Chains A and B, each alone.
Chain A
């Protein structure tokens, strides 16, 4: 069964450093998303991407964040200058294949980002 994959599974970085989180969405999906979950809190939306552009972003997704789909398979989230409060699990998701399926988002296993 197709699945969303994410790399790395765990990333440790120092405050102020840039990180790139990588995702390979399900191949015939059209919508791509990033979410994060800070320990003990809700899963919260960061950004959605459709037709090679951002379709929606949250207040969290400020100028320090960017997304890119550099080729036909990868989808990346870049944090330019990490802060301690960026420490969280980051989930990539994708949706969109067939009638009524555009709502059903399938999530990757996540990348645990630890900022020290």
Chain B
């Protein structure tokens, strides 16, 4: 099931700079997209989401952008902090209450 893809397995960023994590999807019927952060041996933690009818959603240092024509979404973290170092997953859902389909994850490392 390759409907959601994160093509970069890792990303390294300097503290204070912008982190940009990318995600592509193939199913144009996805209704909602979400980003999760995961530390080793813990469950995914919900970060931010966006409805398919929007193109941007912002929450503090986190902004998610959705480009439906390109079937692409991205998560921007500004400014990046060492505590942001974790694996980030994008996920998509077809309908409310439906399953989440996850990407493979991108490991973000923010260096002091």
Checking B32, B97, B102 against A42 with a beta-carbon cut-off of 8 angstroms, the contacting residue is B102
A102–B104 Cα distance when bound, in Å, is 23
Among A63-71, A72-80, A103-111, the stretch in contact with B: A103-111
Is B61 an interface residue when CB atoms closer than 8 A count as contact?
no
**Once the chains bind, are A107 and B45 in contact (CB under 8 Å)?**
yes
A105–B98 Cα distance when bound, in Å, is 10
A29 CB, nearest partner CB in chain B, Å: 10
**Once the chains bind, are A43 and B34 in contact (CB under 8 Å)?**
no
**Once the chains bind, are B44 and A31 in contact (CB under 8 Å)?**
no
Chain A interface extent, by class: 20 to 34
Q: Which chain B residues lie closer than 8 Å to A31 at the CB level?
A: 97
Chain B positions 14 through 26: 1 when the CB is less than 8 Å from some CB of chain A, otherwise 0? 0000000000000
Q: Which chain A residues lie closer than 8 Å to B41 at the CB level?
A: 110, 112
**Once the chains bind, are B43 and A4 in contact (CB under 8 Å)?**
yes
B54 CB, nearest partner CB in chain A, Å: 11
Can you offer 17 A-B residue contacts whose CB atoms are under 8 A?
A4-B43, A33-B99, A42-B102, A43-B44, A43-B100, A48-B97, A48-B98, A48-B99, A50-B97, A91-B43, A95-B97, A96-B96, A103-B32, A104-B49, A105-B100, A108-B43, A110-B42
